[in-house]
A = this chain, B = another copy of it.
Amino acid sequence: MTPDSDRFLASLHALRAIGAVGTGVVRPAYSDTDIEARKWLAEQFREAGLTPYFDPVGNLFGLAGDGPSLLMGSHSDTQPEGGWLDGALGVMAALEIARASKEAGGPPISVVSFQDEEGRYGVTTGSTVWSGGRSLEEADKLNASDGTTYAEGRARMADLVSGDFLDPSRFTGFIETHIEQGPYLDTEGEAVGVVTSIVGIRNMQITFTGQSNHAGTTPMHLRRDAFQGLVEFAARLNVRFAEVVRPETVWTIGHVALTPNGASIVPGKAAFSMQWRDGDPQRLNAMEAIVRTTAEEVTRERGLELDYGPLLGLEPVAMNDRLQQALADAAEAEVPGRWRRMPSGALHDATNVARHMPVAMLFVPSINGISHNFDEDTDEADLVTGLKVLARAVSSLSG
């Protein structure tokens, strides 16, 4: 098959125009622009000979007939202030492959744009519900930061729903193309990355509770300062993690809330997020043990109370060997020596879809590693290279 690079780029720019703000895009899940984009996509699918199908949460499929087909795609919703390629690239590349395959008499390719991948209401909510990771009843209670529920969100496109959730067994596999969102490919001047696994994640809220007190009259040795406990915890954790991590491992304290949070009051409470990611479940567990040991040590030493919120755990997901090898062979043929195998540090819809079928992912470079930002961008030459690699891989898989 021979994908049409110009048609592909034109489609991508047409989608970019819906919700465009400067160089960026604003299409959060179930917003007017998101729904407009999905209607436009449904029309594109129809014109490509695919049957548009909206499921009850607004995941939009473009079905290649009723028989088995390879599913390709990603998502068309964006961050509140998102880039033009995050999600959109995977959907439009899939559509071009579906068109080119049809034109060449190739294998049937279905396309999908999952809903709320960016987690306005949860995390990869549309593919989570479709894959059975969370019941619709539970999902409906999820809240956006504006207080609206998922039920209210999806009600905004209820008139578009085609029917019940599709049976995943109709699809033979899933390939998702996505921007890297990290710096590796761009830094090394490589054109594509073949994903080996999507890293696992552990996230928990930890709370240290001491005693709020007057910052002038409370001597240092009598303080039970929850923030100083957090400082000690974070510093000690960095030292200990260094013994178990590898270069790809990441950990983040991204959210901190002190109580009462006044300049003249010794902080009585520090609630913070503790998140770590790695592709190896053993390492994730070893890190969890260090987190707990360190938190317990520091709070015991400082007379603080320790509370853990629920541990959110998503296991690492290995990409399917056969699909991965097809992408790797295609990459080597298209851009010899200018590609790499790499893990994905971000979650993707593929994580959920992997419950039901073989999955694989292809990355293209993010300029300066920037994403979730209006400045997110990729050289068009790299976008086209990604498309060509996909086409080769899909051809080889059906060969």
What residues of chain A have their CB less than 8 Å away from a CB belonging to chain B? Answer: 180-184, 199, 201, 203, 213-222, 225, 227-228, 230-232, 234-235, 238, 245, 247-258, 261-267, 273, 275, 277, 344-347, 369-372
Tell me whether A254 and B235 are in contact (CB under 8 A): no
Tell me whether B216 and A347 are in contact (CB under 8 A): yes
- B residues less than 8 Å from A264 (CB atoms): 203, 252, 254, 275
Q: With A231-B231, A345-B216 known to touch, is A255 a contact of B250 (CB < 8 Å)?
A: no
Out of B217, B230, B256, B370, which one reaches A346, CB within 8 Å? Answer: B217
Tell me whether A250 and B219 are in contact (CB under 8 A): yes
Tell me whether A266 and B254 are in contact (CB under 8 A): yes
- B residues less than 8 Å from A247 (CB atoms): 219-221
Q: Which 5 A-B pairs have the closest CB atoms?
A: A182-B217, A263-B273, A216-B345, A215-B252, A217-B345
Q: With A203-B263, A265-B254 known to touch, is A346 a contact of B234 (CB < 8 Å)?
A: no
Tell me whether B262 and A255 are in contact (CB under 8 A): yes
Out of B231, B238, B371, which one reaches A217, CB within 8 Å? Answer: B371
Q: How far apart are the CA atoms of A367 and B245 in the complex, in Å?
A: 49
Q: With A203-B263, A228-B234 known to touch, is A372 a contact of B255 (CB < 8 Å)?
A: no
Out of B248, B254, B262, B266, which one reaches A267, CB within 8 Å? Answer: B254
Q: How far apart are the CA atoms of A231 and B256 in the complex, in Å?
A: 12
Query: What are 10 sample pairs from A and B whose C-beta atoms fall under 8 A apart?
Result: A180-B217, A181-B214, A215-B277, A217-B346, A220-B245, A220-B249, A221-B247, A230-B231, A254-B264, A256-B256
Residue of B nearest to A250 (CB): B220
State the number of copies, please. 2
**Shortest Cβ distance from residue A315 to the other chain B in the assembled complex, whole angstroms:** 15
**Shortest Cβ distance from residue A130 to the other chain B in the assembled complex, whole angstroms:** 22
**Shortest Cβ distance from residue A349 to the other chain B in the assembled complex, whole angstroms:** 14
**Shortest Cβ distance from residue A201 to the other chain B in the assembled complex, whole angstroms:** 7
Q: How far apart are the CA atoms of A320 and B253 in the complex, in Å?
A: 50
Tell me whether B222 and A369 are in contact (CB under 8 A): yes
Residue of B nearest to A249 (CB): B220
Tell me whether A254 and B262 are in contact (CB under 8 A): yes
Q: How far apart are the CA atoms of A273 and B260 in the complex, in Å?
A: 13
**Shortest Cβ distance from residue A369 to the other chain B in the assembled complex, whole angstroms:** 7
**Shortest Cβ distance from residue A297 to the other chain B in the assembled complex, whole angstroms:** 15
Q: How far apart are the CA atoms of A275 and B254 in the complex, in Å?
A: 24
**Shortest Cβ distance from residue A377 to the other chain B in the assembled complex, whole angstroms:** 15
Tell me whether A216 and B346 are in contact (CB under 8 A): yes
Residue of B nearest to A236 (CB): B235
